Amino acid sequence: MKPPQFHEGLNMLKAKTWVLGIEKLFEVFPCLETQKVMLATFILQDEARRWWMLIWEDNKNIGWAQFLKLFYDKYFPQCVCDRKVSKFMEMKQNSMTVAEYEAKFTEWARFAPHVVDTDYKKTRHFEGGLRDDILDKVNVLKLETYIEVLDRAIILEANIAI
């Protein structure tokens, strides 16, 4: 198993993806909070490694939560996060297929977990972004779950294409 590496500069999506990959390792290989930091920083590369070496002395015994705060402050600034949340909030299906919209919705939802932290909120937000011709037909069904809305939207899209 090869751990994910991070060596990019200010590439927010790669930073977030790297953290998710590292945390996936922690699910399989449980370790202490300080050990998580040691493992993660060991595999940093290039500019990211240089950044850690500059701040390491003042942060030798920090836990994972503190490391993530430092890491996100550097590679995922709040202003960028705010823009991602805004883009997610305004996301519409437009010319995408329902499957493409759902994939993008799922990808961008991670930037605004508070918007989709219940199935009801996730369902309504997804539904609200559907194209009007699909939304009009899905709305009248008063579907309760995300999976139901997704399923019906895919069926409707196929029927509209016929």
Query: Distance between CA atoms of 26 and 39, rounded to whole angstroms?
Result: 10
Q: How many residues does the chain have?
A: 162
Residue 3, in any domain of the structure: no
Region for residue 88 given its phi and psi (left: phi exceeds 0; alpha: psi -120 to 50; beta: otherwise): alpha
* Count of structural domains, the chain: 2
pTM above threshold 0.75: no
7 vs 45: which has the higher pLDDT: 45
Considering the domain architecture, whether residues 69 and 99 belong to the same structural domain is answered as no
Considering the domain architecture, whether residues 56 and 114 belong to the same structural domain is answered as no
Considering the domain architecture, whether residues 125 and 155 belong to the same structural domain is answered as yes
Q: How confident is the model at residue 15 (pLDDT cuts 50, 70, 90)?
A: confident
Closest CA to 112 of 91, 86, 130: 86
pLDDT at site 155: 96
Region for residue 94 given its phi and psi (left: phi exceeds 0; alpha: psi -120 to 50; beta: otherwise): left
Query: Distance between CA atoms of 26 and 36, rounded to whole angstroms?
Result: 7
Considering the domain architecture, whether residues 53 and 102 belong to the same structural domain is answered as no
Identify residue 120 by its one-letter amino acid code. Y
Domain that holds residue 94: 88-161
**What's phi and psi for 113, nearest 5 deg?**
-60, -30
Task: Give the number of other CB atoms < 10 A from CB of residue 117.
Answer: 11
Tell me: the pLDDT tens digits for 87-125? 999 999 999 999 999 999 998 998 899 999 999 999 999
Query: Distance between CA atoms of 111 and 84, rounded to whole angstroms?
Result: 6
Beta carbons of 100 and 92 less than 8 angstroms apart: no
